[in-house]
Chains A and B, each alone.
Chain A
Amino acid sequence: MTPENAPVLIFLCPFVVALLLPVLRFDKRLAYYGAVVALAASAGLSYWGLTLVQNGTAISHFMGGWLAPYGIEWYLDSLSALMAFLVTSIALIVVFATGETVEREIGTVRIPYYTIALLHLSGLLGMILTRDFFNFFVFLEVASLTAYALVATGDNVRGNMASLRYLFIGTLGASFYLLGVGYLYAGTGTLNMTDMAARLPGFIGSRTAFLGILFIFLGLAVKMGLFPFHGWLPDSYAHASDSASALLAPLTTKVIIYSFIRIFFSVFQVSVIEQFSLDTVLLVVGAIAVIAGSFLAFVQTNFKRMLAYSTISHIGLIMLGIGLLEKTAFLGAVLHILNQAVMKAGLFLIAAAAAHRHGIRDILDFTRLRARMPWTLAAFILIALSMIGAPPLFGFFSKWYILLGAIKTGQHWVAVLVVGSSLLTALYFFRVLERIFFTSPPVSETVAEAPWRLLACTGLISIALFVFGLLAPKIFTWGLITLIPKGL
């Protein structure tokens, strides 16, 4: 366990177990426990990795001993360690919580389900940790292919159709990314991100560089569900099985946003973003995403679809924070990635809990929650308040820092929009709460809570929102030293 191996060990835990599960098929319960143990080990290792790099240092691992720029480099710094820890711990909570849900929804094919879920997570971890453009593409496709399969786990054929659409759009995005990397490779002759960052300045003025950066931007925008390219996202999340959407929704888009930050801020760097006015693009697209996503969330009747549109609007908010090109707003955006992942995991677990015993999927039926599942309802109210941005909770701080950044840079319309996004989020969550509290359920019902694991994990997430709320200023001051990319 030398520190140089930390980046690879984090990845290997879910990957090795994913490959072992199809072999160990004598007991179906083994798949669940195997997945939980693998993710727990991976989460523990990422926490260890986070403590190793907490001073802003970085660890490089060279695959097979081939030194960069010729070999493939894996890289653990504060930002990637933070993301790896986020992904593994959220995945651990979700997989642990959805044990019964998977049994009900997936039934006999649980072993392939857990194999695919673990492969998806290893794809995400690979994207977080690799320092090589082409290796990143491979993990992007590993994560995407498994995501298509996870979307197709829905119990009816709609899931398959949603998955196929996701596949078409996703392949378009991946091909754009690959073309973009091709242009940059043609210009610089390297695929290593550190090496690329060193060679880019001599070639950035050319049309090749412009096309490369444009294609990479388009590819990642498609994959993260940024506003005009969000078409695949609502259907996929709404029609996937509850267990799969609880795993996909909080993590996949957030990891692509992280990769966007990684590629655009530490490889291309701020001067390039300014040169191509990408910051203006991000601000405009983000603003439209915030407004359109919120209004579309407001008109939905399916709870999971509402959450999907909410994701689109909050991706827009993260892009606003990044597009301001200012330290406070940047850290606000990073914090928003963290708390969106935590809160969306909680909300999709609540969606799974409501559907599990009572088949509640429609917002109109949510009034039954009041009598049936009081504890789940309490957790839902807490997470909803955090989504809106109520002060002591985690969701408040990210919006607050983006707001401060907007005021500092003099972009007051962004500040208005951040406050407006809180109000819009309040609008669609209060619509659900109004339904719960101001209409009486059709028949008198008795308490029948979600399975204990689901309930415990939802409770854990709502408590975590308080704890992280208290820790947020500390994370912010830590981030000021370690997370800010060069030149910002």
Chain B
Amino acid sequence: MTPKFIGLFNYTAALILVLFGIYALITQKNLIRKIIGMVILQTGTILFYISLAAKHGAAIPILIDQGHHAVIDPQHYANPLPHALMLTAIVVGVSTLGVALSLIASIFKHYGTLEEDEILIKMESSK
């Protein structure tokens, strides 16, 4: 397996996840399924960033004391920045998920259903 193939495989997977997430977000009528679509979309984005930093046979970017003349060659290390960024993006994703689930809980309490079309019908009739 060549490193180049690994890279392309990652990006294809990220693309499929993103497209699948958007598809679920738009077409699904059940609110929980929409949320699952949203999370898949975010996961696709995260995979894309992590793939940017993937490197075959790279070391972790920690400087080990090798005396005063240690030379650091960036070629040997995986880029830590996308990982750090994605930690933040995961936190953002979790908060979004939390807000969405609490909204859904209050909607379910009121309408007794999570199907969007049924909710819309009940909304119309309560006008």
Contact = CB atoms under 8 A, between A and B. Distances in A.
A5 interface: no
A145 interface: yes
A175 B104 contact: no
Contact of A145 (B18, B88, B99): B99
Interface in B67-126: 82, 85, 88-89, 92, 95-96, 99-100, 103-104, 106-107, 110-111, 119, 123
A270 interface: no
A164 B88 contact: no
> Taking each of B100, B111, B119, which has the highest tally of chain A beta carbons within 10 Å of its own beta carbon?
B100
B103 A163 contact: yes
B103 A167 contact: yes
B45 A167 contact: no
B31 A164 contact: yes
Given A161-B119, A186-B52, A168 B34 contact: yes
Contact of B48 (A134, A138, A149, A179): A179
A264 interface: no
Interface of B: 18, 21-22, 25, 31, 34, 38, 41-42, 45, 48-49, 52, 82, 85, 88-89, 92, 95-96, 99-100, 103-104, 106-107, 110-111, 119, 123
Interface of A: 134, 137-138, 141, 145, 148-149, 152, 157-158, 160-161, 163-164, 167-168, 171-172, 174-175, 178-179, 182, 185-186
Contacts of B21: 175
B99 A179 contact: no
Given A175-B41, A178-B89, A164 B96 contact: no
Contact of A160 (B22, B48, B107): B107
B42 A171 contact: yes
Contacts of B107: 157, 160-161, 164
- Which interface residue of A145, A160, A174, A175 has the most chain B CB atoms within 10 A? A175
Contacts of B100: 164, 167-168
Given A163-B103, A167-B100, A182-B52, 13 more contacts: A137-B92, A145-B92, A157-B106, A160-B103, A167-B99, A168-B25, A171-B96, A174-B92, A175-B21, A178-B89, A182-B45, A182-B48, A185-B82
